[in-house]
């Protein structure tokens, strides 16, 4: 491994991220204040600052928050408000130690708000659930690992599920994926099953790649960016710098989102002294359209109609005919379907006027190079596949894929969610080549496809899952249909939760249950060969080494790599080629295995680990090498104009959108301030526009319940929501994830990938 420059070692710092913020612009004083308030209360703020100063730079720690790129020439501070919150949340000095668990039964802990539960601090000791006292009690690592191994050995491998949240580094993830297959299953659900699985499955069909085609350099050369359903200001704030630079170069940004998200409206660069003093924000979006949830298919159909009309008016000058002929399939059929779509229907589904869509189309047509960006607003819908198909269509019409300054760019979630898939986490044999595993380790990997998240839940409800390991995450809280899931979890014979901090999932133990504390990414990881680095892949397919330098919170903490390897060793029959102990002693050896298993992506992995800006693992679609069934990029004819499922009808049926606030990382709730949306103090709110409020006879501040309007014989309800007037399109309501997850049926998901329809569930308001 190329050694990064020597950097200081740090101790943990005090922090308290539940801070109210008041400034409105994305970035700027509001975000600096957010960070400085965290420091403000901290005695050890200089040490925290040391860690943050190196964040996302070679030799430092790669942010544990989002998956945005880390530029080769970093800013003085290459972290954002929310990245700092994530780091400081991990560097917590409070302890959820054996005394804490001795003082509280799990029934008592269930009374705590998620925020308070996680705020109890870092886990410090391995714990085993004691049903008699309803408490987690300390257990030795040796005893825990031996018992877990014995229990996994005793079951049919197909009854085990190994979940991972997209957090753990490539090293632990590779070993986990190998362990599952050596054991005899591919039940490897991941957080992306609730997130960008729509992307992984459908972009593969359309473009022959499971990931986006853009790299950072494309943002220096694009003329327009079409932005769908991604909340940059909260969820990938460092990306705002890239957008600001593009805008200042003259690039046009056109945004479609039901919510006017602050960061996409304007941005003050907290690292620009002039802008900070003068306080004049950069306007990010040239046009911002508040599309109805699920209305993007219609928007894209409208945009495509405009492109076709422009071509009709000036034949041979608008479409990229050579590209379409040589590189794609399905154009004629798609064009026919789009021409047949009526403007009335387009306006009805999108909630936008024809004039607005024509205005947006004019930007598309005047741009030589266009990038399409998207997030959960496109993926978490029943017809998410068509959202992506239509966005690909729009780009392909003018050859906007596979050339500099153009392409499709899904913004991924967890910091290593994309990388975990690249090194084999996934339910299909295509995720980890079986012949390689046979050759390298003499194991016989299963051919049978494993379970993704929704399928694992269905199997669990049918009594077909007996053991569940969770490498990070908070699955019970993140899944749809929470009440059914929470009721089903205790039927498991074995649950093993590997985590940094306690969360609600840990309060649903199986019959035998372990809670194992691990090092976080900011923590120093020392093994037999010395200090270790781990690695991760960003949204733009670049891979970085990361070195934790904080003193671990407890001597009992083990790395995720070490925990996975220890369980594997205790479970599997002896095999001299599975050198778990040696691998844990030196992660370079694991990276060599990754390079051997996936040579096209990871050649010379160790040598490239600390390349500034990360190293690119390549993407054939970027080179117009389409690894699809037809060998070409595929146009997708629209079969409907909405991304929503077959909606139940009714005057009172509304589309529910579940949102993240600026003060949470998924199920981790840092506090109760959604600063960028001007919402403060409570998360139990129901956002609705004022006309709809009047139409439904509701009033501001009224308490209501929401019930799911899908009739499958089950009642799904959330009580106690405060009606709050908000600028949203008609026909929809919004509220926070994860509080509203009991409303979403497990069966209500994207068609091809089973990604839950968290952005488009029909509900009724019960006054």
Ligand X SMILES: Nc1nc2c(c(=O)[nH]1)N[C@H]1C(S)=C(S)[C@@H](COP(=O)(O)OP(=O)(O)OC[C@H]3O[C@@H](n4cnc5c(=O)[nH]c(N)nc54)[C@H](O)[C@@H]3O)O[C@H]1N2
Smallest separation, CB 377 to ligand X (Å): 2
Q: Is 195 in the site for Mo ion (CB under 5 A)?
A: yes
User: CA–CA separation, 346 vs 362, rounded Å?
Assistant: 17
Q: Is 478 in the site for ligand X (CB under 6 A)?
A: yes
Only one of the segments 187-195, 288-296, 456-464, 612-620 lies at the binding site for Mo ion (rule: CB under 5 A); that segment is: 187-195
Residues in the interface with Mo ion (CB under 5 A) total 2
Smallest separation, CB 521 to ligand X (Å): 6
Residues whose CB is less than 8 angstroms from the CB of residue 551 and which lie 6 or more positions away in sequence, other chains included: 9, 10, 11, 12, 523, 524
Cross-strand bridge partners of residue 766: 705
- The DSSP secondary structure of 321-361, one letter per residue, reads HHHHHHHEE-HHHHHHHHHHS-HHHHHHHH---HHHHHHHH
Among 145, 300, 475, 513, binds ligand X (CB under 6 A): 475
**CB of 56 closer than 8 Å to CB of 62:** yes
Q: Is 471 in the site for ligand X (CB under 6 A)?
A: yes
Alpha helix positions (H), 480-579:
482-488, 560-571
Among 74, 281, 413, 613, binds Mo ion (CB under 5 A): 413
Smallest separation, CB 631 to ligand X (Å): 31
Q: Is 521 in the site for ligand X (CB under 6 A)?
A: yes
Only one of the segments 167-175, 195-203, 449-457, 636-644 lies at the binding site for Mo ion (rule: CB under 5 A); that segment is: 195-203
Kindly tell me the sign of the dihedral angle through the C-alpha atoms of 339, 340, 343, 347: negative
Alpha helix positions (H), 621-759:
690-695
Of 78, 77, 74, 75, nearest to 66 (Cα)?
78
- Cα Rg for the chain, rounded, in angstroms? 25
Q: Is 473 in the site for ligand X (CB under 6 A)?
A: yes
Q: Which is nearer to ligand X, 305 or 381 (CB)?
A: 381
Instruction: Looking at residues 480 to 499 of the shown chain, list those that interact with ligand X (rule: CB under 6 A).
Output: 498-499
Only one of the segments 29-37, 95-103, 226-234, 277-285 lies at the binding site for ligand X (rule: CB under 6 A); that segment is: 226-234
**CB of 383 closer than 8 Å to CB of 301:** no
Smallest separation, CB 630 to ligand X (Å): 29
**CB of 736 closer than 8 Å to CB of 683:** yes
Instruction: Looking at residues 736 to 765 of the shown chain, list those that interact with ligand X (rule: CB under 6 A).
Output: 737-738, 740-741, 758-759
Smallest separation, CB 192 to ligand X (Å): 7
Q: Which is nearer to Mo ion, 195 or 341 (CB)?
A: 195
Alpha helix positions (H), 398-488:
417-422, 434-441, 453-461, 475-478, 482-488
Q: Is 167 in the site for ligand X (CB under 6 A)?
A: yes
Only one of the segments 200-208, 406-414, 492-500, 625-633 lies at the binding site for Mo ion (rule: CB under 5 A); that segment is: 406-414
**CB of 388 closer than 8 Å to CB of 199:** yes
User: CA–CA separation, 462 vs 456, rounded Å?
Assistant: 10
Only one of the segments 99-107, 170-178, 263-271, 408-416 lies at the binding site for Mo ion (rule: CB under 5 A); that segment is: 408-416
Kindly tell me the sign of the dihedral angle through the C-alpha atoms of 557, 562, 563, 566: negative
CB-based closest residue to ligand X = 375
**CB of 477 closer than 8 Å to CB of 114:** yes
Of 65, 207, 235, nearest to 674 (Cα)?
235
Q: Is 408 in the site for Mo ion (CB under 5 A)?
A: no
Six token digits for residue 400: 């906007």
User: CA–CA separation, 548 vs 539, rounded Å?
Assistant: 21
User: CA–CA separation, 379 vs 643, rounded Å?
Assistant: 9
Only one of the segments 49-57, 288-296, 391-399, 438-446 lies at the binding site for ligand X (rule: CB under 6 A); that segment is: 288-296
- The DSSP secondary structure of 170-207, one letter per residue, reads HHHHHHHHHHHHHHT-----BGGGGTTHHHHHHHHHHH
Q: Is 657 in the site for ligand X (CB under 6 A)?
A: yes
CA angle (372 as vertex; 367, 378 as ends), nearest 5? 145
Q: Is 480 in the site for Mo ion (CB under 5 A)?
A: no
Q: Which is nearer to ligand X, 327 or 538 (CB)?
A: 538
Q: Is 492 in the site for Mo ion (CB under 5 A)?
A: no
Smallest separation, CB 763 to ligand X (Å): 12
Q: Is 175 in the site for Mo ion (CB under 5 A)?
A: no
66, interface contact from Mo ion, ligand X, none, CB < 5-8 Å by kind: ligand X
318, interface contact from ligand X, Mo ion, none, CB < 5-8 Å by kind: none
Among 667, 673, 689, 754, binds ligand X (CB under 6 A): 667
What are the φ/ψ torsions at residue 645 (nearest 5 degrees)?
Answer: -75, -175
Q: Is 501 in the site for ligand X (CB under 6 A)?
A: yes
Among 26, 200, 234, 328, binds ligand X (CB under 6 A): 234
Among 60, 472, 510, 729, binds ligand X (CB under 6 A): 472
- The DSSP secondary structure of 633-659, one letter per residue, reads EE----S-S-SS-SPPP-TTEEEEEEE
The distance from CA 525 to its chain's CA centroid, rounded to whole angstroms, is: 25
209, interface contact from ligand X, Mo ion, none, CB < 5-8 Å by kind: none
664, interface contact from Mo ion, ligand X, none, CB < 5-8 Å by kind: ligand X
Q: How are strands ordered across the β-sheet holding 494-499?
A: 135-138, 127-130, 512-517, 494-499, 467-471, 160-164
State whether residue 443 is helix, strand or coil: coil
Q: Is 173 in the site for ligand X (CB under 6 A)?
A: no
Q: Is 515 in the site for ligand X (CB under 6 A)?
A: no
Q: Which is nearer to Mo ion, 235 or 383 (CB)?
A: 235
Q: Is 338 in the site for Mo ion (CB under 5 A)?
A: no
CB-based closest residue to Mo ion = 413
452, interface contact from ligand X, Mo ion, none, CB < 5-8 Å by kind: none
- Where is 245: in which H helix or E strand? helix 239-248
Smallest separation, CB 272 to ligand X (Å): 22
- Where is 30: in which H helix or E strand? helix 28-40
Q: Which is nearer to ligand X, 323 or 665 (CB)?
A: 665
Classify burial at 263, counting beta carbons within 10 Å of its beta carbon; exposed 0-12, middle 13-18, buried 19 or more: buried
Q: Which is nearer to Mo ion, 190 or 546 (CB)?
A: 190
Only one of the segments 257-265, 546-554, 568-576, 599-607 lies at the binding site for ligand X (rule: CB under 6 A); that segment is: 257-265
DSSP state of 467: E
Beta-sheet pairing, 615-616 with 542-546: antiparallel
Among 27, 263, 270, 293, binds ligand X (CB under 6 A): 293
Q: Is 666 in the site for ligand X (CB under 6 A)?
A: yes
DSSP state of 10: B
Smallest separation, CB 414 to Mo ion (Å): 6
Smallest separation, CB 501 to ligand X (Å): 4
Among 51, 216, 259, 533, binds ligand X (CB under 6 A): 259
Smallest separation, CB 767 to Mo ion (Å): 33
Only one of the segments 70-78, 411-419, 557-565, 585-593 lies at the binding site for Mo ion (rule: CB under 5 A); that segment is: 411-419
Q: Is 518 in the site for ligand X (CB under 6 A)?
A: yes
473, interface contact from Mo ion, ligand X, none, CB < 5-8 Å by kind: ligand X
- Where is 513: in which H helix or E strand? strand 512-517
Q: Which residues bind Mo ion (CB under 5 A)?
A: 195, 413
Footprint of ligand X on this chain (CB under 6 A)? 65-66, 82, 118, 165, 167-168, 191, 194-195, 228-231, 234-236, 256-259, 261, 291, 293-294, 296, 375-377, 380, 411, 413-414, 471-475, 478, 498-501, 503, 518, 520-521, 560, 657-660, 664-668, 737-738, 740-741, 758-759
């Amino acid at each position: 491994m190329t050694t990064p420059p020597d950097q200081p070692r740090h101790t943990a710092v005090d922090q308290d991220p539940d801070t109210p913020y008041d400034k409105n612009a994305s970035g700027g004083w509001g975000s600096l204040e957010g960070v400085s308030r965290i420091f403000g209360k901290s005695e050890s703020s200089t040490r925290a600052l040391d860690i943050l100063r190196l964040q996302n730079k070679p030799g430092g720690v790669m942010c544990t928050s989002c998956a945005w790129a880390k530029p080769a020439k970093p800013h003085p501070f290459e972290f954002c408000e929310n990245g700092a919150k994530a780091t400081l949340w991990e560097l917590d000095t409070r302890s959820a130690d054996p005394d804490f668990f001795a003082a509280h039964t799990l029934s008592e802990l269930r009374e705590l708000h998620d925020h308070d539960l996680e705020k109890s601090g870092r886990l410090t000791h391995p714990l085993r659930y004691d049903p008699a006292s309803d408490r987690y009690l300390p257990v030795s690592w040796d005893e825990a690992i031996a018992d877990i191994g014995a229990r996994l050995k005793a079951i049919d491998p197909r009854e085990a599920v190994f979940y991972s949240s997209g957090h753990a580094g490539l090293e632990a993830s590779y070993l986990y994926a190998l362990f599952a297959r050596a054991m005899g299953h591919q039940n490897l659900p991941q957080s992306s099953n609730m997130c960008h699985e729509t992307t992984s499955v459908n972009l593969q069909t359309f473009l022959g790649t499971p990931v986006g085609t853009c790299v950072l350099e494309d943002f220096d050369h694009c003329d327009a960016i079409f932005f769908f359903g991604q909340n940059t200001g909260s969820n990938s704030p460092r990306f705002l710098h890239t957008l600001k630079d593009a805008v200042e170069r003259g690039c046009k940004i056109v945004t479609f989102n039901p919510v006017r998200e602050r960061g996409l409206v304007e941005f003050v660069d907290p690292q620009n002294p002039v802008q900070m003093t003068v306080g004049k924000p950069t306007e990010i979006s040239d046009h911002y359209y508040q599309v109805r949830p699920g209305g993007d298919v219609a928007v894209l159909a409208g945009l495509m109609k405009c492109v076709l009309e422009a071509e009709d008016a000036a034949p041979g000058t608008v479409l990229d005919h050579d590209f379409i002929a040589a590189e794609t399939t399905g154009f004629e059929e798609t064009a026919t379907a789009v021409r047949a779509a009526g403007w009335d229907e387009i306006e009805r589904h999108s909630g936008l006027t024809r004039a607005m869509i024509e205005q947006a189309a004019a930007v598309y047509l005047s741009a030589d190079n266009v990038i399409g960006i998207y997030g959960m607003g496109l993926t978490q819908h029943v017809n998410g596949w068509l959202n992506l198909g239509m966005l690909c269509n729009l780009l392909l019409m003018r050859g906007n894929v596979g050339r500099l300054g153009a392409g499709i760019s899904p913004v991924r979630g967890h910091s290593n969610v994309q990388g975990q898939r690249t090194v084999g986490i996934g339910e299909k044999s295509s995720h980890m080549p079986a012949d390689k595993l046979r050759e390298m380790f003499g194991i016989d990997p299963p051919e049978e496809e494993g379970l993704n998240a929704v399928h694992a839940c269905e199997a669990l409800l049918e009594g077909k899952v007996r053991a569940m390991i969770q490498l990070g995450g908070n699955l019970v809280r993140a899944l749809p249909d929470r009440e059914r899931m929470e009721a089903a979890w205790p039927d498991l014979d074995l649950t093993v939760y590997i985590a940094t901090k306690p969360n609600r999932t840990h309060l649903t133990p199986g019959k035998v249950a372990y809670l194992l504390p691990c090092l976080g990414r900011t923590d120093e990881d020392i093994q037999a060969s010395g200090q270790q680095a781990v690695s991760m892949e960003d949204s733009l397919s670049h891979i970085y080494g990361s070195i934790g330098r904080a003193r671990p919170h407890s001597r009992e903490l083990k790395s995720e790599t070490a925990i996975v390897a220890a369980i594997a060793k205790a479970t599997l029959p002896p095999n001299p080629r599975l050198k778990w102990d040696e691998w844990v002693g030196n992660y370079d050896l694991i990276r060599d295995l990754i390079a051997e298993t996936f040579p096209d992506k990871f050649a010379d992995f160790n040598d490239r680990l600390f390349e500034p800006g990360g190293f690119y693992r390549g993407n054939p679609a970027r080179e117009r090498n389409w690894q699809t069934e037809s060998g070409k990029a595929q146009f997708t004819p629209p079969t409907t104009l909405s991304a929503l499922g077959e909606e139940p009808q009714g005057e009172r049926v509304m589309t529910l959108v579940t949102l993240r606030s600026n003060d949470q990382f998924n199920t981790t709730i840092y506090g109760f301030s959604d600063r960028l949306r001007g919402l403060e103090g409570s998360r139990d709110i129901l956002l609705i526009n004022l006309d709809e409020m009047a139409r439904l006879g509701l009033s501001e501040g009224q308490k209501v319940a929401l019930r799911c309007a899908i009739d499958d014989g089950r009642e799904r309800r959330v009580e106690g929501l405060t009606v709050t007037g908000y600028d949203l399109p008609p026909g929809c309501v919004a509220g926070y994830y994860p509080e509203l997850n009991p409303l979403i049926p497990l069966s209500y998901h994207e068609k091809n990938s089973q990604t839950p329809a968290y952005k488009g569930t029909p509900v009724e308001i019960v006054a």
